[in-house]
């Protein structure tokens, strides 16, 4: 038992499943997914839809020949396309007797506790009233540094927020392959993943289509977040009647990622995935071992470099000297204090500085990626 809600499923549909290369919505696809979700809802399951496609639906209407690259052009396309997307979903679900609601979220909303609490209460109310919430990123207000960009991460955060029993990520490929099958036709599909390690991330490439953005890499990132929140995750394809229900019940055409039994506490989920890091420290190999293998706290002696302007209580990211990010935690030092303490023994730090806790990041406030 993972503590998840056994009657809730989050389905994410990518741009590549909804739109044509030249832009515009494929109405038959919207209809297909509405039918699939309505059938799942008819089993008594509460369904949340996270959908991309606003930019892809809107750019042609704005006169662009292909998906634009500049942020303001994508935002304008999304503003046009989001209305088209909702109009299409609204009609498709209404004809199946279901009410839909539009919920637009940003990364910033997840990092601000008050905002995400309100979003969560809204989703609960909608779900309890039998409404299908349709979620997308609020593209027109998202700033570059804080953008989800693709909706894979967003769907994982939503799945954890509503404590879904399963996250179904629908895309144009039937799962994770040992290499992008568009580049290597001999690549092999991986059916089930019980431990998401670096080797799998190395297999995953970027988007293979001209409308998608995240590719397999961002889907794996999403799976990592969801499984650590206790949500089993499916990445794969759905195109025949019943495919989405099959995906949600363990018989889909794709890759399954087992939920971690020891799911992260809500606080650690916030530290690891919702918060916006205010800085970064680079640590040496001894500190890496302590954090990654020893389950220990980060001490000043292992800190090599300090970046950003943070204060005690902020979340910072921890990286290795080769740039690899290994996790995040709540820092007990201000950036200027840590600059002075970096590399020193704990006794030396206590002699020189007035810090409330010697640990740079305490193990209880640390999340390993
Ligand atoms: N190892 C891999 N296995 C499967 N697909 C991969 C892999 N690496 C990269 N991809 C690419 O990821 C694409 C799906 O991601 P994306 O284009 O972002 O879709 P979506 O719009 O559904 O989010 C696939 O079409 C495929 O070309
Ligand atoms: N919020 C954007 C999502 C962009 C996007 O392409 O995402 P995805 O298809 O999930 O990789 C939109 O609706 O166009």
Q: What is the CATH number of the domain that holds 136?
A: 3.40.1160.10
pLDDT value of position 201? 92
Same domain as 244, residue 125: yes
Q: Are residues 252 and 297 in the same domain?
A: no
216 Cβ closer than 6 Å to some ligand 2 atom: no
pLDDT of 2 reads 45
> Has 3 been labeled as part of a binding site?
no
pLDDT on residue 265: 92
- Report yes or no on 352 lying in a domain: yes
191, 308, 321, 348, 358 from 339: Cα distances, Å: 46, 11, 16, 14, 14
Q: Is 213 assigned to a binding site?
A: yes
301 and 237 within one domain:
no
Ligand 1 pocket member 180 (CB < 6 A) = yes
- In total, the chain counts a number of residues equal to 369
Query: Is 3 a member of any domain?
Result: no
Does any ligand 2 atom lie closer than 6 A to the CB of residue 53? yes
Domain boundary among 207, 242, 267: 267
- For residue 31 and ligand 1, the question of a CB distance below 6 A is answered with no
Mutate to test the pocket of ligand 1, among 18, 212, 236 (most ligand atoms within 8 A of CB): 212
Instruction: Domain of residue 79: give its range.
Output: 8-267
**Closest-lying ligand 1 atom to the alpha carbon of residue 203:** 1
Residue where a domain stops, chosen among 221, 236, 267: 267
The finding on whether 77 has its CB within 6 A of some atom of ligand 2 is no
Residue 72 within any structural domain of the chain: yes
90 and 233 in a single domain? The answer is: yes
Regarding whether 98 and 244 lie in a shared domain, the answer is yes
Report percent pLDDT > 70 for the chain. 96
The pLDDT, as a whole number, for residue 116 is: 92
Find out whether 327 is annotated in a ligand binding site.
no
Task: Return the best residue to mutate from 13, 15, 200, 209 for the ligand 1 pocket (most ligand atoms within 8 A of CB).
Answer: 209
215 in a known ligand binding site = yes
Which of 179, 172, 225, 171 lies closest to 204, judged by CA?
179
Say how many Å lie between the CA of residue 208 and the centre of ligand 1. 5
Last residue of a domain, one of 227, 247, 267: 267
Residue 132 inside a domain? The answer is yes
* CATH number of the domain bearing residue 314: 2.30.130.10
Same domain, 244 and 284: no
Lowest average pLDDT, out of 17-26, 88-97, 128-137, goes to 17-26
The CA distance from 105 to 267, in Å, is 20
Q: What is the mean pLDDT of residues 124-135?
A: 97
> Is residue 199 annotated as involved in ligand binding?
no
| Stretch among 16-30, 201-215, 247-261, 264-278 having the lowest mean pLDDT | 201-215
**Prediction pTM value:** 0.91
- Given a cut of 60, is residue 266 above it in pLDDT? yes
Q: Do residues 182 and 249 both lie within one domain?
A: yes
In angstroms, the CA 104 to CA 119 distance is 10
Q: Are residues 263 and 281 in the same domain?
A: no
CA distances to 3, 231, 277 from 96, in Å: 31, 28, 43
C-beta 176 within 6 A of ligand 1 = yes
Averaged pLDDT, 152-172: 96
Is the pLDDT score of 1 beyond 50? no
Is pLDDT above 70 for 165? Answer: yes
Would you state the pLDDT for residue 135? 98
Nearest one of 127, 254, 129 to 190, comparing CA atoms: 254
**Confidence grade of residue 5 (pLDDT, cut at 50, 70, 90):** low
* Mean model confidence pLDDT for the chain: 93
Q: Are 244 and 36 in contact (CB under 8 A)?
A: yes
Element (H, E) at 110: helix 107-111
Mean pLDDT of 269-282: 95
Candidates 15, 172, 202, 235: which one to mutate for ligand 1, based on the most atoms within 8 Å of Cβ?
172
Same domain flag for 263 and 282: no
Residue 364 pLDDT: 95
What's the pLDDT tens digit per position in 290-330?
A: 999 989 999 999 999 999 999 999 999 999 999 999 999 99
- Give the gyration radius of the chain's Cα atoms: 22
SS3 30: helix
Three-state secondary-structure class, residue 318? strand
Q: Is 23 in the pocket of ligand 2 (CB under 6 A)?
A: no
Average of per-residue pLDDT across 235-247: 97
The bridge status of strand 46-51 relative to strand 303-308 is: unpaired
Q: pLDDT tens across 168-217, in order?
A: 999 989 999 999 999 999 999 999 999 999 899 999 987 766 666 678 99
Give the Cβ contact number of residue 114 at 10 Å.
8
Domains contained in the chain, number: 2
Does one domain contain both 122 and 104? Answer: yes
- How many angstroms is it from 15 CA to the middle of ligand 1? 11
Q: Is 218 annotated as a binding residue?
A: yes
Does 14 sit in the ligand 2 pocket, CB within 6 Å? yes
Kindly report the protein residue whose alpha carbon is nearest to atom 14 of ligand 1: 215
What's the average model confidence in pLDDT over 102-118? 92
Please tell me the predicted confidence (pLDDT) of residue 141.
86
Report in angstroms the alpha-carbon separations of 77 from 59, 71, 361.
5, 10, 42
Q: Please indicate, yes or no, whether residues 249 and 104 belong to a single structural domain of this protein.
A: yes
Q: What percent of the chain has pLDDT over 90?
A: 84
User: Does residue 272 lie in a domain region?
Assistant: no
**Ligand 1 neighbour 179 (Cβ under 6 A):** yes
Given the CA of residue 215, which atom of ligand 2 is nearest to it? 11
């Amino acid at each position: 038992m993972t503590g998840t809600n056994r009657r809730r499923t989050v389905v994410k549909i990518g741009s590549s499943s909804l739109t044509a290369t030249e832009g515009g919505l494929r109405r038959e696809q919207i209809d297909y997914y509405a039918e699939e979700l309505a059938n799942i809802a008819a089993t008594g399951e509460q369904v949340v839809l996270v959908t991309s496609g606003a930019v892809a639906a809107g750019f042609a209407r704005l006169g662009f020949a292909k998906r634009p690259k500049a942020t303001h052009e994508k935002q304008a396309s999304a503003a046009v396309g989001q209305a088209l997307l909702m109009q299409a979903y609204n009609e498709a679900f209404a004809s199946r007797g279901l009410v839909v609601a539009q919920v637009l979220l940003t990364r910033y909303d997840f990092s601000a506790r008050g905002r995400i609490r309100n979003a969560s209460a809204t989703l609960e109310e909608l779900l309890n009233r039998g409404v299908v919430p349709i979620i997308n990123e609020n593209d027109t207000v998202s700033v570059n540094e804080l953008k989800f960009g693709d909706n894979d991460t967003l769907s994982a955060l939503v799945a954890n927020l509503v404590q879904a029993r399963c996250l179904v990520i629908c895309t144009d490929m039937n799962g994770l392959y040992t290499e992008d099958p568009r580049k290597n036709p001999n690549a092999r599909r991986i059916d089930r993943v019980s431990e998401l390690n670096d080797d799998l991330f190395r297999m995953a490439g970027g988007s293979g289509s001209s409308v998608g953005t995240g590719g397999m890499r961002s889907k794996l990132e999403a799976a990592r977040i969801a499984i650590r929140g206790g949500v089993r995750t499916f990445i794969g394809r759905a195109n025949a009647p019943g495919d989405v229900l099959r995906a949600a019940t363990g018989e889909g055409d794709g890759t399954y990622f087992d939920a971690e039994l020891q799911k992260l506490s809500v606080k650690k989920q916030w530290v690891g995935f919702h918060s916006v890091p205010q800085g970064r420290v680079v640590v040496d190999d001894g500190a890496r071992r302590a954090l990654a293998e020893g389950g220990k706290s980060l001490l000043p002696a292992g800190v090599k470099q300090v970046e950003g302007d943070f204060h005690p209580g902020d979340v910072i990211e921890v990286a290795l000297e080769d740039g690899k990010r290994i996790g995040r935690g709540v820092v007990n030092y201000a950036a200027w204090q840590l600059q002075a303490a970096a590399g020193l023994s704990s006794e030396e730090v206590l002699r020189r500085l007035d810090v409330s806790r010697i640990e740079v990041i305490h193990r209880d406030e640390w999340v390993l990626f």
